[in-house]
Structure 1
Amino acid sequence: MEFDHVGVATDDAAALANLFDDLLDAPVAHEETFDGMRVVFLELDGGGYFELLEPREGGAIADYLDREGPGIHHVALATDDAAAALDHARDLGIDLVDEEPRPGAWGHDVAFLHPRSTGGVLVEFVEH
């Protein structure tokens, strides 16, 4: 597996995208509304993305912002087989958020591991 992106919860994706573009020269690579969120991917030099997550209605990101405030929400790793990655995590006794991959942003299949089993980090597997 390799690094794919870091998800950042924010109340204002446009302002944060402008800041990161100015600061890091990280232009918008993809943008969509998905699952009640505005999702903006900023491309980083050398590979990988910042994924900005702005809630448009209630949901997991709105709840996260209410509870934790803006900041890093998850770390995503690219895999060729998200189902096999989940099986491996399950075999290791890791608690899963998703029992099987599901549709995610940008048309990718995704699956999450529960942070209580991964040192407090919400880990996402992304299958392109």
Structure 2
Amino acid sequence: MTTETRPFRVLGIQQIAIGGPDKGALRSLWVDLLGLTPVKTFTSERENVDEDVCMAGTGLFAVEVDLMQPLDIEKKPKVHEPPLNHVGLWVDDLRAAVTWLEGQGLRFAPGGIRKGASGHDVCFVHPRGDAAHPRSGEGVLIELVQAPPEVVRAFDAMAAAR
């Protein structure tokens, strides 16, 4: 465990991403039965994904729920395996987080910081470590998401009100 001061904060859950071979079944559960609100679709050949972006809750504390299916079930990444594909965390300073976490030996997935499906800067923590980077998501793909200023302020206000 490190004693160095962490130069960023994890604010809360930004999203969960769920995959399946056919997002129609996912949509039937999450939208039709559970009542989440679909807000847009996103397709990426590079990421082998066709997804519906839905929201649970409202306002700055809403959580995005991505319903994903692969464009080609034979190609990687396999967004449907495992079905709970990844968890997204709001962070207040993504660049500082990545720099510091790499210094702690955390392994990141290829691609570095880039724009995510919802337009925020994102970076993925690899689910497995390797010799050069022994720390990992411990089997879980984790998306670190740069929180916009209004989200940071909302989390700060909520923390101050405690």
The structure with more radius of gyration = 2
Q: 1:37 aligns with which of 34, 49, 60?
A: 49
Decide whether the 8 Å contact of 2:112 with 2:124 is kept in 1. Answer: no
Q: 1 or 2, which has the higher helix percentage?
A: 1
Higher strand share: 1
Alignment of 1:35-74 (within 5 A): 35=45, 36-45=48-57, 47-57=62-72, 58-61=75-78, 65=80, 68=81, 71-74=83-86
Structure 1 56/77 Cα, relative in aligned 2: closer, same or farther at 3 Å? same
Partner letter of residue 25 of structure 2? A
The aligned amino acid for 1:114 is: H
Write the deviation string for residues 33-90 of structure 1: whole angstroms up to 9, x where unpaired.
Answer: 12332121111126202111211133302xx54xx4x510111112243222211211
Matches within 5 A, 1:1-128: 1=10, 2-35=12-45, 36-45=48-57, 47-57=62-72, 58-61=75-78, 65=80, 68=81, 71-98=83-110, 100-116=112-128, 117-127=136-146
TM-score with structure 2 setting the length: 0.66
Compute the RMSD of aligned alpha carbons: 2.1
Over 4 Å off, 4+ runs? none
Check 1:101–1:49 CA distance in 2 against 1; reply closer, same or farther (3 A cut). same
TM-score by length of 1: 0.81
Residue identity over aligned pairs, in percent, reads 30
User: SS of 1:84's equivalent?
Assistant: helix
SS across alignment from 1:107? coil
Gaps of 5+ in 1: none
Structure 2 CA distance for aligned equivalents of residues 30 and 19 of structure 1: 17
Cα distance in 1 for residues equivalent to 2:110 and 2:124: 6
